[in-house]
C-alpha cells in the first residue's frame, strides 16, 4: 500500500532538489503535484485541500525560500504535516488498574476483527499479560471456531460460553478471567455487512454489561473512502477509543485509511499488516509518514 503515493511524492521532491533555489512558481507546481498524488491515492478531498493549503503556506515563507536547502525544507514540512494528519504522536492503548481489563473490538463483518483480536492477544501476551479471548460473535458461522483455532495457535484461551447470547458470553468471559487468573479480556463482537440498528444495539448492550476499558473499531484499509463513513457513523452512535486498521498489506490505494484521523478525530492505535499473529503493529504517525515519504 502507498507505493505509488510514495513514488509520486518522491518524484516531486526530486524535481525540487534539482532546482537549487526555488521560486513561487516551483512551490505552486510542487503543491499541485502533491495534491494530485494524494487525490489519486484516494485521500479524502477536504483532507487534501486542508493539507495542501497548510503545507503551501509553510513552504512559501522567506525562511524556506531563501534558505540554502529549500527543497530539503519543503520535504521536512510535508513530513511534518503528514505526521500531524495521521495524529502527531502515538495513541497508546490505555489499560486501567482493574483486573481483568476489558478490550472490546467492534467492526463490520469481514473487517478483520477476529484476526485483530487474536493479534492483539498475542501482542499483549508478549508484553507479559495473560489475555483471554471472548467469542461473542455468535452470528457469523464458524467465527467462534476460527477464534478457538487461532487462540490455540498462540496459546491463549478462548471463552465461548453458551455460544448464543453475546452479552452473556461477554459477562461470562470476565468471570472466567477472574477464575483462571487472566488479566485482559478481549471481546470479539459480531459485525454486520453494514452498521445497522441491531449491530449498534448489541454494541451498546455489551458495552453496558462489561464496561470495557477500551473499545477499538477494526476497519479494513481496502474499503477505500467509505472507511471514513463507517468510522463516523459508528462514532455518532456510540463512543469508542480508537481504530485498528487491518489489511494495510493489501494493494488498495489506502488514502481512506490516511484520512480517518483528520475526518473523524479518532486515533489510529494499531495497524495490521498480514494474517500472521505477529503482524499487528502499534501505530506511530511519524514512522508511517516517513514510510510513505520513503
Ligand atoms: P471479521 O469478520 O471482522 O472477524 O474478519 P476476519 O478476522 O475473519 O478477517 C476476514 C479476512 O481478512 C480473513 O480471511 C483474514 O485472514 C483476513 N485478514 C484479516 N486481517 C488481515 C490483514 O491485516 N492482512 C491480510 N492480508 N488479511 C487479513
Residues 40-89 have pLDDT tens digits of 999 999 999 999 999 999 999 999 888 989 999 999 999 999 999 999 98
The cell for 73 is: 525544507
Span from the CA of 82 to the centroid of ligand 1 (angstroms): 27
Residue ranges, the chain, pLDDT below 70 = none
CA gap 16, 25 in Å, rounded = 11
Interface predicted TM-score (ipTM): 0.98
The cell for 194 is: 453494514
Shortest-distance Cα residue to atom 13 of ligand 1: 112
State residue 94's pLDDT score. Answer: 84
Please write the tens of the pLDDT for every residue from 242-277.
999 999 998 888 999 999 999 999 999 999 999 899
Q: Which of 115, 133, 189 has most ligand 1 atoms within 8 Å of CB, for mutation? A: 115
- Return mean pLDDT, the chain: 94
Q: Which residues contact 147 (CB under 8 A, 6 or more apart)?
A: 114, 117, 118, 133, 135, 137, 158, 188
Span from the CA of 245 to the centroid of ligand 1 (angstroms): 11
Containing 244, the helix (H) or strand (E) segment is: strand 242-246
Exposed/middle/buried for residue 282 (C-beta within 10 Å: 0-12, 13-18, 19+): middle
**Sheet of strand 101-107, all strands in order from the earlier edge strand to the far edge:** 158-159, 131-136, 184-189, 101-107, 214-220, 242-246, 268-272, 280-282
Rounded to two decimals, the pTM is 0.95
For strands 280-282 and 268-272, give the pairing: antiparallel
Q: Are 254 and 38 in contact (CB under 8 A)?
A: no
Amino acid at each position: 500500500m502507498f507505493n505509488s503515493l510514495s513514488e509520486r511524492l518522491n518524484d516531486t521532491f526530486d524535481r525540487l532538489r534539482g532546482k537549487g533555489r526555488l521560486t513561487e512558481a516551483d512551490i505552486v507546481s510542487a503543491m499541485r503535484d502533491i495534491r494530485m498524488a494524494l487525490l489519486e491515492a484516494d485521500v479524502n478531498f477536504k483532507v487534501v485541500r486542508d493539507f495542501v493549503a497548510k503545507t503551501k503556506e509553510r513552504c512559501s515563507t522567506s525562511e524556506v525560500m531563501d534558505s540554502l536547502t529549500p527543497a530539503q525544507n519543503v520535504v521536512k514540512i510535508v513530513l511534518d504535516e503528514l505526521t500531524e494528519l495521521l495524529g502527531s504522536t502515538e495513541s497508546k492503548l490505555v489499560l486501567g488498574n482493574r483486573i481483568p481489563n476489558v478490550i472490546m473490538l467492534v467492526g463490520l463483518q469481514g473487517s478483520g476483527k477476529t484476526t485483530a483480536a487474536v493479534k492483539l492477544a498475542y501482542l499483549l501476551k508478549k508484553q507479559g499479560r495473560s489475555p483471554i479471548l471472548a467469542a461473542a460473535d455468535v452470528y457469523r458461522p464458524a467465527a467462534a471456531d476460527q477464534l478457538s483455532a487461532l487462540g490455540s495457535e498462540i496459546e491463549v484461551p478462548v471463552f465461548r460460553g453458551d455460544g448464543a447470547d453475546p452479552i452473556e458470553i461477554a459477562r461470562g468471559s470476565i468471570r472466567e478471567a477472574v477464575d483462571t487468573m487472566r488479566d485482559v479480556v478481549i471481546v470479539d463482537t459480531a459485525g454486520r455487512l453494514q452498521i445497522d440498528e441491531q449491530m449498534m444495539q448489541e454494541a451498546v448492550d455489551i458495552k453496558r454489561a462489561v464496561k470495557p476499558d477500551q473499545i477499538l473499531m477494526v476497519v479494513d484499509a481496502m474499503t477505500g473512502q467509505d472507511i471514513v463513513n463507517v468510522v463516523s457513523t459508528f462514532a455518532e452512535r456510540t463512543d469508542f477509543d480508537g481504530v485498528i486498521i487491518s489489511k494495510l498489506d493489501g494493494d488498495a490505494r489506502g488514502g481512506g485509511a490516511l484520512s480517518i484521523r483528520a475526518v473523524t478525530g479518532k486515533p489510529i492505535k494499531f495497524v495490521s499488516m498480514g494474517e500472521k499473529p505477529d503482524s499487528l503493529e502499534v501505530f506511530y504517525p511519524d514512522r508511517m509518514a516517513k514510510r510513505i515519504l520513503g
